Chain A
Amino acid sequence: MFAMLGIGAFFLVGLLVSIRLLTLWRRTRQWPELAAALGLLGIGPLGFCVMMTGYVLFRDTPVMPYFRAAGVGVQVLGFVASLSFTWRVFRPKEKWAAVLVAGLSLALIGTGIGMIVSPSVPGHLALQFHLDLVLKILTFGWGTYEPLRYWWIARQRVALGVADPLVSASFLMWGITSGAGTLGFIIVYAAIASLGPGGHLPTPVYLVLSGIGLVAAVSLYLSFLPPQVYRHRVEAHAPASGG
């Protein structure tokens, strides 16, 4: 139970942040807020809940594969939305980024269909299993690199007095959230790939994933729902500048 605490915290924060971003999108109609909300919902609470509903309530019934398929589909859409967010926010004018997003999205959809049609089991992992996790790691990896790269520039601008310290800190927090996701998927990949037929993930793996989930939950919260205390702290610790 404790092992799932961090993941649960991440899903709860993901849900709260998604609702806030969707509310914002209703007013602004801007793509980044919608993409971020769909990404968080699809990868986190929604995709997971759909899959778990099938697993818990309809296990070993003819209905369960439909829930599984819906869960995989929602997660794939979440990853595509997440890619789109990184592209539109950090590389909107770069052609290579548009090509990368299109390629990764098509590959994610293709492997998602493969996962639905032919599910893998420990010990007999199909090609689509490896592709699926590698693509997800690449998606999160790019989603980690871009905000951290931007944070590196923004913190220097903060020192010059031409950037907002809270916005700069949000780049860092969003980078940490995505980085936690990248690390989580690498661990899941390595752990499942090393299992024999009929094997189950050992408790330490769940504990590590729970810790990563907690880090992701806190950093996600500070990224998009920064409380007043945190805001004041960040602004008070911003380097003094001439302006």
Chain B
Amino acid sequence: MADSPAFDFVAERIERLTNLSDTSARGALRLALKAALFDPRTVDGMQMLTVIERILPGELQVRGVKDPMFVCKTLAIAVKASFRSWSDFQSPEFIFDRLIRR
């Protein structure tokens, strides 16, 4: 099973916004997702936002990325602007959140 659109989207932007290579960017993102028990193949936009805000800054800092908070804020804005187009990739959390709250 391929990585989710949310994963590919964010990994690509980490590479563009930082000095990390494609492999390092994907590795950092994979570790951040793993720390939050998310699967790169099924992670959706909402879950990705949480990881970007709470876990990714630490992973980027470990890799020597300058101003990881700014990078993550930029990533969060990009994800918020785009994740409606990934609506076919809805996690169980996303669906249950809608069923409960809307």
- A interface list, Cβ under 8 A from B: 21, 24, 27-28, 30, 32-33, 36, 89-90, 92-93, 147, 150, 153-154, 156-157, 160-164, 166-167, 170-171, 174, 223-224, 226, 242-243
Contact = CB atoms under 8 A, between A and B. Distances in A.
Nearest to A159: B37
17 contacts: A93-B1, A93-B42, A147-B92, A160-B35, A160-B36, A161-B54, A162-B36, A162-B51, A162-B54, A163-B50, A163-B93, A164-B93, A171-B92, A174-B96, A223-B100, A243-B53, A243-B54
Contacts of B55: 162
| Chain B interface size range | 20 to 34
B95 interface: yes
B37 A153 contact: yes
Contact of B96 (A28, A92, A162, A170): A170
Given A28-B102, A32-B90, A167-B100, 7 more contacts: A24-B102, A33-B99, A147-B92, A156-B37, A157-B38, A162-B51, A162-B54
Interface string B25-38: 00000000001111
Contact of B100 (A160, A166, A242): A166
B1 A89 contact: no
A24 B42 CA distance: 25
Interface of B: 1, 35-38, 41-42, 47, 50-51, 53-55, 90, 92-93, 95-100, 102
A150 B37 CA distance: 11
A113 B90 CA distance: 35
A93 B5 CA distance: 13
Contacts of A36: 99
B43 to A, nearest CB: 11
B98 A30 contact: yes
Interface of A, helix, strand, loop or mixed by DSSP? helix
B51 to A, nearest CB: 7
Q: Which of B37, B53, B90, B100 has the most CB of A within 10 A?
A: B100
B37 A160 contact: yes
Contacts of A163: 50, 93
Nearest to B41: A93
Contact of B102 (A27, A93, A167): A27
A164 B95 CA distance: 12
Q: Which of B51, B90, B93, B97 has the most CB of A within 10 A?
A: B93
A147 B95 CA distance: 12
Contacts of A160: 35-37
B36 A167 contact: no
A154 B97 CA distance: 13
Contacts of A243: 53-54
